[in-house]
Structure 1
Amino acid sequence: MELRTLRYFVAVVETGSVSAAAERVHVTQPVVSRQLQALERRLGVRLFDRDGGRLRLSAAGRELLPRAREVLLGADAVEQAARRLATGHLERVAISAPSTTVIDVLAPFVATLGPDDPLPSLVESRRHTSVEQLQQGADVVVLTTPPPPGVHSVPIATLPLWASVPEDHDWAPRTTLDVVELVSEPVIVLAPEFAARQILDMALGERGLVAGELVEATHPRVAQALAAAGRGVAVVTDDPRFGLVTVPLTSGRQRLSIHLHAAWSPEHHAADALAALSGRLAAFVEQRYGTTPQTAP
């Protein structure tokens, strides 16, 4: 069954006559008549009741009309999607990122997008994001580790690791805090799968240190809430909340930070559009936080 035959059928119904339908679809009247007869033979039903020179939908025709329209709409949607693919157009974009990045970086960026931009879908990943998510539906994945070979990427942000404390804490006025000093305080950390926890553990391990009292939180905001309640020093990369003060953490002279990269597949049909969007994200972060992706504050 050809789509054009269904188009002729729908055109006859909508225009009320074979001649008007032929004019709409830009063919001759005999062509439409022959195609309608062929469609009836193929389906084994009468689509129209013929009353002299008039055509009226038969019971079978009324039953099949909505299905014919659905098929044509589906075919049109496929053609439109194919044209978008061919031109690299991007209507929607799925971005997978860690929870902190979704809340503090991506959500504010999304608020700056306009109606002509692709509709974003933000997927919060509790565990480490990886390029494997590009094969699982994500168009862009925000990595907390250096991008592997085989993907295109752009650095978008450098997130400092903070010691988050209440305003009346002795460390609140400090401009930096060495991880060595954390040993003397209860420390509120995230679960081991969070990049912030991994960086802290690595920094302590390199100095031969083990944190004293650890309180493990399930989410960065929970860690901040516990710090605000006086339960310890929260080590997170999140923007301050609950009246907390953030002090940059260091290990010796090195500031501890997470380097974020936006990565996408070079085989993506809209790879150029993804590159442009990622570049805009990097520029937004620089403007919002006053820092380039390569340099921690």
Structure 2
Amino acid sequence: MNTHDLAAFIAVVDSGSIVQAANKLHLTQPAVTRRVQGLESLLGVQLLDRQSKPLRPSAAGREVYRKGRQMLEAESELMTSVNPATEPAGELRLGMPPYLADMMLATPVDRLRECFPRLSLRIQSTWSPGLTAAVENDMLDAAVVGFADGSTPPSSLVAHPFSRQPIRIVAAPSLGLPTRTDLKRLSGFSWVLSQNGCGMRSVLRRTMEASNLSFDVTVEAVGSELQLSLVARGAGVGMVTADLLERSSYRDRLKVLQVADFRTDVVGWLAYRPLPPRLEAPVALLLEELKKLPIASRF
């Protein structure tokens, strides 16, 4: 189907006149007539009631008009979506892990909304393995993910590191643990950690299991502040990034342990598949804002 013929028919219906449609399209009247007739010939139906003044669509013409407008709008959106000079619009599906959600939902997301007002943000918060899989499967456009030092996002994704945070093992002084300790001693205590799916919990579990040490998670809790409050009350040993520990209201009630056989950092990455042109500028701005976060100063 020639969309120019469809546009001519829609212009005639909108204006009620071949003359006015021709002026709107900067065509001659015979050219508009030929285009409408060509569409009628293709579809095998009469689209206009030519006895009415102004011109009105026939019953079939009303259906073609309605669906034709949808087709032309879809064509326009398609052309816009691949034009890098067009103002970004539509959806940006963004993922982030829970421990970064508070910071991400502040300045970086506010900047996106300020700079790209026609862009709708759809934000999903879960753990990094799930976010990475969602990006790979085109369920998210981009995701902020954390990987233990030495690991990286899949090679199928474009990934930029923006932060590095040391992991702190913490406990309440009441547990009586020495500052310098090891995983064997810690295996005698229960843990307060995030749910299964948290990358750092997985690293700790694998490390302990590799040494045939028991790994008992007594409390699973969402959010570092809730976890640290439980650790401070002696519910178990905890694990947190250095930045979140510094910001916690419970930091003075916690003892940071130096674990000889478990020292690692978590590296923050912005990961995405090759982007459509309409999302290139928003994702570039997001990366720029992520690098300004306080946690990025340690990278």
User: Could you say which TM-score interval applies, normalised by the shorter chain?
Assistant: 0.7 to 0.9
Q: Deviations over 1:103-138 (max 9, x none)?
A: 244323323433324544333333625755433123
Give aligned pairs, total: 282
Give yes or no for the alignment of 1:197 onto 2:201: yes
Question: For residues 136 and 95 of structure 1, what CA distance do their matches in structure 2 show?
Answer: 13
C-alpha change, 1:54 and 1:182, in structure 2 (3 Å) is closer
- SS of the aligned residue for 1:263 comes to strand
Contact 1:179 1:249 in 2 (8 A): no
Conservation of the 8 A alpha-carbon contact between 1:162 and 1:247: no
Please give the alpha-carbon distance, in whole angstroms, between the structure 1 residues aligned to 2:97 and 2:8: 52
Q: TM-score under structure 1 normalisation?
A: 0.73
Aligned equivalents of 2:53, 2:10: Cα separation in 1: 18
Match of 2:99 in 1: 100
Give identity over the alignment, percent.
Answer: 23
**What are the ranges of 5 or more consecutive residues in structure 2 without an aligned counterpart?**
none
SS at match of 2:152: coil
Conserved? CA contact 1:164–1:247, under 8 Å:
yes
Alignment of 1:134-213 (within 5 A): 134-137=135-138, 138-141=140-143, 142-144=145-147, 145-147=151-153, 149=155, 151-163=157-169, 169-170=173-174, 178-179=181-182, 182=186, 185-191=189-195, 193-201=197-205, 210=213
Partner Cα separation in structure 2 for residue 88 and residue 63 of structure 1: 31
C-alpha distance in 1 between matches for 2:236 and 2:194: 13
**CA shift digits 1:162-212 (9 cap, x unpaired):** 44567xx558xx9x7755664565432345542222343466578x69468
Instruction: State the alpha-carbon separation in 1 of the partners of residues 238 and 264 from structure 2.
Output: 14
Q: Post-superposition shift, 1:34?
A: 2.0
Residue identity in the other structure for 1:139: D
* Consecutive unaligned residues in structure 1, runs of 5 or more: none
2:136–2:156 contact (8 Å) kept in structure 1:
no
- The one-letter amino acid of 1:13's match is V
RMSD over aligned CA atoms reads 3.9
Say whether the 8 Å CA contact 1:199–1:256 is kept in structure 2. Answer: no
Partner in structure 2 of residue 24 of structure 1: 24
C-alpha distance in 2 between matches for 1:213 and 1:130: 26
When structure 1 is superposed on structure 2, of 113-122 and 14-23 the one drifting more is 113-122
Equivalent pair of 1:223/1:234 in contact (CA under 8 Å): yes
Match for residue 218 of structure 2?
215
Contact 2:192 2:227 in 1 (8 A): yes
Q: Distance in 2 between matches of 1:248 and 1:228?
A: 11
Equivalent pair of 2:5/2:39 in contact (CA under 8 Å): yes
| 1:251–1:83 distance in 2 versus 1, CA, 3 Å | same
List per-residue Cα deviations over 1:38-66 (Å, max 9, x = no partner).
32333333322233875333333334322
